[in-house]
A and B are shown apart, each in its own frame.
Chain A
Amino acid sequence: MSFVLSHRTVLLAPRGSWFVLLAACACGARESSSAQGNSTGERSGVSVGDVGAVGVMTPSGSASGEGTPDATVAPPDSSVSEADGEASVGACCGQPEPSCAAGICCVASDCPSSERCLRHTCQSVTCGPVQDSTYYVDPAAGIDVLSSTGAANCPFRSLTHTLSVIGSDAGSGATVEIVNDGFSPVLDPSTGEVFPISPPANVTIVAADTTKNLPTLRLTASQSASDSGGPDYVTGFLLANPGDNLSHLVVDGHLLPPTVISSGIVVLGQTGGIDHVTVENVAGRGIDVEDDILTHGFVSLGPGVVSQNNGSASFFLTGPP
């Protein structure tokens, strides 16, 4: 039997063994990027081998099972109705969509507590260990709980929690990849972020897919009391240790009230770099580098850095007086 998936294509499968009825639905922002985001082999992707026993219909209709490395889940612009045809009302990528039903997920809460939302499918997962010191953060589908590991099949939800797990010593280095396979994820206090986000030494924070859907760190004032600068000052990232890097991200402050002084990124004299990062709409300084005369020239900015629509200096650099 062969199927060709397209919008409005319906595939019938028994859900008990992961055969499900797949029906097309529009999932907002995910739609345009869904197919590529679900293909295997992407940095952000989770191979079937990672997630364990999952059998789903491939676009050609063949069933894939455990250990099949290139199995493909249903495109996320499809929703799932159970075989009995009863569609539940749920959130699909944060959008209320009656056609999104059990089995298709976009956020962790779409799934039962015993399952995880991986590649838009609720699955029972045994969390694997972190490989090559690379942690994954998925603000939509990740979970910040002790049972998470930050591995590809058990992403954390927030950078804040991930960095707390890494601790004060990342050893020779760690990478935190923000999953962005289906849409541009937003990280803010509602997803567990506490500002400023300050990694230990030798940590790189980067979008898992550097070609599209760049993650946005959205500054809000709700966490400002915890900021070291006081209750009326918000900093997105604070890079205070050697070897910290930010890459392929957006820092946006458009939701901050004008009375809150904000900086997108503050860098204390160190040896890291920032590339392909956009900082925009903060009331204060976009990128604030407090250079150290002993480390002149060691902070690298660019290529691909854009600082725009910020209230005061786009890029402010100070040294010791």
Chain B
Amino acid sequence: MTIKGGRGIDHTSFSGNGSGISLRDLSSVVIDGTEIDPARPDESDVDTDNNTGAGLVIGVEGISEEAPSVVRGLHTSGNTNGIEVQPCTRFTLRGSYTGNNSLSGVYVADGVSNFGACLGIEPLAASVDLGNGVGPDYGRNVFQAADAGRATAICLNLAPPPGALGLPTWPTILAAGNLFGNIDCAVGGTLTRSATCSGQVDLGGISPDGGAAIDLSNCQ
């Protein structure tokens, strides 16, 4: 499934609905928009703006491996959460904008039915890729700033994995080389953090007891 963006009459948007783009079961999507220019973040992309729910929901519920979802040039703004994804969903985000959502730009939470989409995936490796420091293959995503009066730029709402899953921790969330407000993590900087997702910080909900880990590459 491929969604193509463009400008003018070619512009593609899923805005002003209950939710923007919603994936379930073993579905996957490739969003092929023009990567966001931070100076002009709303051109030639694919929009999922101003929905009453989330802009993009990847709620994989299957018990075998789904195809990866690859998203480039997504502009998701004015929603509750910009993107909702589970910790084992095979998901790559590049060159996208997740600012100005009322809660979080990217919201990572484990699903109830299949333990965050981790069942059936072997070997269990990092699946949510918002930017990879190896290469490097930076994300170049523009996340909402911590001081924007919003909840968090990235929320990891993850309790430790349930015992039935047999995992000591959730897979690492890759998030290297992104912009958090004025902080460019392709260069470096210090991000604000909170143990909850309501602290108007860059990173929320990160638990020290193995609940989740995130790789921010050059940022602290």
Contact = CB atoms under 8 A, between A and B. Distances in A.
Interface of A: 275-276, 286, 289, 291, 293, 296-321
A149 B13 CA distance: 38
Interface in B20-43: 20-30
Contact of A293 (B11, B26, B30, B48): B26
B13 A307 contact: yes
Contacts of B14: 286, 306-308, 314-315
A313 B18 contact: yes
Contacts of B3: 301-302, 305, 315
Contact of A314 (B4, B15, B26, B30): B15
A10 B9 CA distance: 39
A299 B20 CA distance: 18
Chain B contact-residue range equals 35 or more
Given A308-B13, A319-B66, A291 B1 contact: yes
B9 A304 contact: yes
Contact of A308 (B1, B17, B22): B17
Please list the 6 inter-chain residue pairs (A to B) with the smallest Cβ-Cβ separation, ordered nearest first: A302-B4, A303-B10, A319-B27, A314-B14, A319-B26, A314-B17
Contacts of B169: none
Contacts of B6: 302-304
Contacts of B133: none
B16 A289 contact: no
A319 B63 CA distance: 12
Contact of A309 (B17, B48, B61): B17
Interface of B: 1-6, 9-30, 46, 48, 51, 61-63, 66-67
A262 to B, nearest CB: 13
17 contacts: A291-B28, A298-B1, A301-B2, A301-B3, A303-B6, A303-B12, A306-B15, A312-B18, A312-B19, A313-B18, A313-B19, A313-B22, A314-B18, A314-B48, A317-B29, A319-B62, A320-B62
Q: Which of B16, B17, B26, B61 has the most CB of A within 10 A?
A: B17
Contacts of B27: 289, 291, 317-319
A314 B19 contact: yes
Contacts of A314: 14-22, 48, 51
Contact of A316 (B10, B22, B48): B22
A301 B10 CA distance: 11
Contacts of A308: 13-17
A247 B20 CA distance: 21
Q: Which of A298, A307, A308, A314 has the most CB of B within 10 A?
A: A314
Centre residue among A299, A305, A309 by max chain B CB count within 10 A: A305
Contacts of A321: 25-26, 61-63
B128 to A, nearest CB: 18
A320 B63 CA distance: 10
Given A296-B1, A304-B12, A316 B46 contact: no
B81 to A, nearest CB: 14
B2 A297 contact: yes
Contacts of B23: 316-318
Contacts of A313: 17-22
B12 A301 contact: yes
A295 to B, nearest CB: 9
A297 B15 CA distance: 23
A274 B12 CA distance: 11
Contacts of A312: 17-19
B85 to A, nearest CB: 14
A235 B23 CA distance: 20
Given A275-B4, A319-B24, A319-B28, 15 more contacts: A276-B9, A286-B14, A301-B1, A302-B2, A302-B3, A302-B6, A302-B12, A306-B12, A313-B18, A313-B19, A314-B14, A314-B18, A319-B26, A320-B25, A321-B62
Nearest to A308: B16
Contacts of A299: 1-2
Nearest to A300: B2
A263 to B, nearest CB: 12
A37 to B, nearest CB: 19
B16 A309 contact: yes
A297 B13 contact: no
A306 B62 contact: no
A275 B6 CA distance: 11
A317 B62 contact: no
A319 B25 contact: yes
A314 B22 CA distance: 8
B165 to A, nearest CB: 19
B45 to A, nearest CB: 11
Contacts of A303: 4-6, 10-12
Contacts of A300: 2, 4
B91 to A, nearest CB: 14
